[in-house]
Chain A
Amino acid sequence: MGQTLFDKIWDAHVVSSAEGFPDILYIDTHFIHEVTSPQAFDGLRKRGLPVFRPQQTVATADHNVPTWDQHLPIKEELSRYQVDMLTKNCKEFGIELYGLGHPYQGIVHVIGPELGITRPGGTYVCGDSHTSTHGAFGAIAFGIGTSQVEQVLATQCLLQSRPKRMKIEVNGKLQKGVGAKDIILYIIAQISAAGGTGYAVEYAGDTIRSLSMEGRMTICNMSIEMGARCGLIAPDETTINYVKGREFAPKGEEWDKAVAYWQTLYSDEDAEFDSVLSFRAEDIEPMITYGTNPGMGIGVTQHVPETASLDIKEQVSYKKALDYMGLHDDEQLLGKPIDYVFIGSCTNSRIEDLRQVAEFVKGKHKADNVTVWVVPGSKQVQEQAIREGLDKIFNEAGFPLREPGCSACLGMNEDKIPAGKYCVSTSNRNFEGRQGPNSRTFLASPLTAAASAITGKVTDIREFLKEEELV
C-alpha cells in the first residue's frame, strides 16, 4: 500500500519507536520566541543541560514587540523584560537570535520560510500553535507547549504519537475577490473549530495547487483553528521556486540533491487517509466570521444563523458568543459599521498580502470612522514593501505601514483593539478578548479587510471589483 506525504516525512524522522511509547521524532529546526521559551531555559538550567543542537534552533522576538518606534526601548516593563530574557538565554546557550533591530527579525512563521530555513520534507516545531504555517512547504510543522520546548532544546527530539491522516481537497475555479483566506475560513466553517482535531491534514486539489506559497501558508497557518495537529501541502514547482536562492536554502550540489528528494514527497495514489473531504471552489464566497471561534464563519452576504437552528446543547455557548459580539439572530454583517481594520499576523502579513492590499487601495482613502493598521510580518517584508513604494500608497490611503510583529493579533503588546470596538482582522482568531479585553473581531481576507476600511463597514469585495471593471 502507498504512503501519505505525512507518513513519508514522519517515517524519515523517527529516531526510535517502541510499543506502548510515543515515537521519538527528530526535529530539523526549532523556532523559539520570547513568550513560550523562558521557563524552558530555566528547566535546562535546573537540569544542568546544554541546548543539544543550538545551530538547529532559531530565535526571534515577535509577540511582545511594539510595531511603532522599534528603535526605542520597549515601554512596557514586563514585555521588555521578557524580550531581554530571550536575548540573555540565546547568548548563554549559543542560539542565533534575530531580535529587534536585526534585518531578519519578524514573526517567527514569516521569517522561517522567507530565509529558506523552512523546506520540504523537514520537521519544524515552535512554542506557538501557528507553526502549522510551515507545512505549506510539504513539511511536518506544529505547535508545542513549553515543556516540549524544553524537551526539544534538550534533545532536538520530541515524543509524539502519530496523528490520523485527513485529506481535504478543493477543486475548481475561485470567484474573483476570493482567495486563500476565504478557502480556509470556509473549510473551518464547514467542519467546525474541532473538526480536524487528532489529524494531520493534507490539502490537495487543483485550487490548492494554483495558490502561491503565500496563499498556501495562509491555508496551513489556520489548520490549528480546526484543531488539526498540522496541515501540509505536497511540494511542487511553486514550492521549489520559492525556496531557491533564499539565504539558508541549500546551494549547488546540495540543492540538486535536495530537489531530487523533494520530488518524491507526495501522497501515493493508493495511500489511505483516515478521512477525506472535498469542497468546490465555486461555492466559496468572501468569508467573514461573526462569532467567537474561527468555525463561526459565513459568506459575507449571508446572515448570522438563528440560535433555534442549533442543537439545544450548543445554544448556551452560541448565545454567549452572539451577546459578546453584540449581534443577534439572523443579522446580516454586510453594511455593519466597523472601527478598526488590522492587516497583519502570521496568517496575512507577507509581501503578497501587502501588494494585493496596496493594489486595491491605490487612489482610495479609508473611511473617517476607521483606524487602519498594516503590520508587515518581518523586517524583510517591510523593506521590500518600501522598495516597491507600497508604503506611499498605504500612507495616501490612510493605512500607515507599521513595523514587524504579531501586533493586534493577540492583545499582548501595545496594539490592542479597545473594548466594544469592531475590528475586521486578517489574523486567525476571533476569541473573546483576543485582540484586547472585550474587543470584537471579524476575521476576513486582506481584500475584504481593505474594502471594509475604505467604506467603513463590512463590505463585499466583489461589489467593488465589479464597479472597477465597469470603469
Chain B
Amino acid sequence: MTQTKTTMATKIFKHIQTTVVPLAIENIDTDQIIPARFLKATTREGFGNNLFRDWRFDENDQPKPDFVLNNPTYSGKVLVAGKNFGCGSSREHAAWAIADYGFDAVVSSFFADIFKGNALNNGLLPVQVSDDFLQKIFDAVAADHTAEVEIDLENQYIKISATGEQENFEVNPYKKACMINGYDDIDYILSQKNKIEEFEVR
C-alpha cells in the first residue's frame, strides 16, 4: 500500500474483546439512530447524547426504562442489531453518534451501503455476519448478559468467547488497511493529484 499516515489519521481499530449491547430490531434507519432535529450542530462531537433519542427518552426527556441503552444489565463496546442496519438517510451523524456514545463496532446480518462507508470512515467497524451467527450472539447474550465477543480485524473473524463459535467477515482490503494503520482517504487521493489533473484535460 502506498498510503502514508498524516494529519487527519482515522481512529485505529485492530482487536477488541467486550460485552455487547443487543438491539434485535430490523431495518434500523439513521433517523432512529439520530433524528434530524439533532443534526444542527456544526461540529462532529456530542452526538452520542442523542443516540437513539426517541427510543431512549420520552417526550419529557426522561429515559425509557425498557430501552436497552437504559438497561444497566447491558453494556459494552459492540452494538449488535437486526438486519439492514443504518438504512435511509446518508447522515454521517449516525456513525458519529454511535462512536461518540462509545461503541467501536456494530454487528448485524446486513448493513446499508452508505452507513457502512460512513462507519468505516470513522473507525467504527461494521461487522456483517450470517443470520444464524447473529442469532447465536443474541442467544448467548440472552443466556448470560456478560457474554463477550472478540472481534479481530487483522484476521477478519468474530468469536463468541464463551462457546468459541466464530465466523469470518468481509471487509474491503483498502479500508481494512486504513483502519488498522489510521490511513486517510484524502491523503491517498491527493497523492495522485497529477492523475486527476491529467483526467481533467482529457
| In the complex, chain B residues whose CB is within 8 Å of the CB of A356 | none
Listed residue (B24, B40, B122, B195) with the most chain A CB atoms within 10 angstroms of its CB:
B40
**A-B CB contact pairs (8 Å), 23 listed:** A15-B195, A16-B192, A22-B172, A24-B189, A35-B91, A42-B42, A78-B41, A79-B40, A145-B92, A147-B185, A194-B84, A194-B87, A227-B112, A227-B113, A295-B27, A314-B26, A317-B26, A317-B82, A410-B36, A429-B89, A431-B29, A433-B31, A434-B36
* Minimal beta-carbon separation of B97 from chain A (angstroms): 13
Interface size on A, residues (CB 8 A): 69
* Contacts A24-B195, A81-B40; A145 near B185 (Cβ below 8 A): no
Cβ of A249 under 8 Å from chain B: no
| In the complex, chain A residues whose CB is within 8 Å of the CB of B29 | 293, 429, 431
In the complex formed, the residue of A with least CB distance to B84 is A194
* Minimal beta-carbon separation of A296 from chain B (angstroms): 9
Cβ of B76 under 8 Å from chain A: no
| In the complex, chain A residues whose CB is within 8 Å of the CB of B135 | 313
Our pick among A150, A193, A437 for the contact of B186 (Cβ within 8 Å) is A150
Cβ of B25 under 8 Å from chain A: yes
In the complex formed, the residue of A with least CB distance to B112 is A227
In the complex formed, the residue of A with least CB distance to B175 is A22
Cβ of A36 under 8 Å from chain B: yes
- Find out whether the CB atom of B185 lies under 8 angstroms from the CB atom of A159: yes
Interface residues in A310-341 by Cβ distance below 8 A to B read: 313-314, 316-317, 320
Cβ of B72 under 8 Å from chain A: no
A43 to B189 CA separation, bound complex (whole angstroms): 15
A174 to B59 CA separation, bound complex (whole angstroms): 44
Cβ of B73 under 8 Å from chain A: no
- Find out whether the CB atom of B84 lies under 8 angstroms from the CB atom of A431: no
Our pick among B114, B174, B199 for the contact of A15 (Cβ within 8 Å) is B199
- Find out whether the CB atom of B39 lies under 8 angstroms from the CB atom of A432: no
- Find out whether the CB atom of A433 lies under 8 angstroms from the CB atom of B90: no
Cβ of B173 under 8 Å from chain A: yes
Query: Which 9 A-B pairs give the minimum distances between C-beta atoms?
Result: A145-B92, A145-B118, A78-B40, A38-B42, A143-B90, A412-B36, A147-B121, A129-B90, A317-B26
A159 to B135 CA separation, bound complex (whole angstroms): 34
Cβ of B54 under 8 Å from chain A: yes
Cβ of A155 under 8 Å from chain B: yes
- Find out whether the CB atom of A193 lies under 8 angstroms from the CB atom of B92: no
- Find out whether the CB atom of A46 lies under 8 angstroms from the CB atom of B87: no
A148 to B10 CA separation, bound complex (whole angstroms): 13
* Contacts A16-B195, A227-B112, A412-B36; A36 near B91 (Cβ below 8 A): yes
| In the complex, chain A residues whose CB is within 8 Å of the CB of B112 | 194, 197, 227
| In the complex, chain A residues whose CB is within 8 Å of the CB of B122 | 147
| In the complex, chain B residues whose CB is within 8 Å of the CB of A38 | 42-43
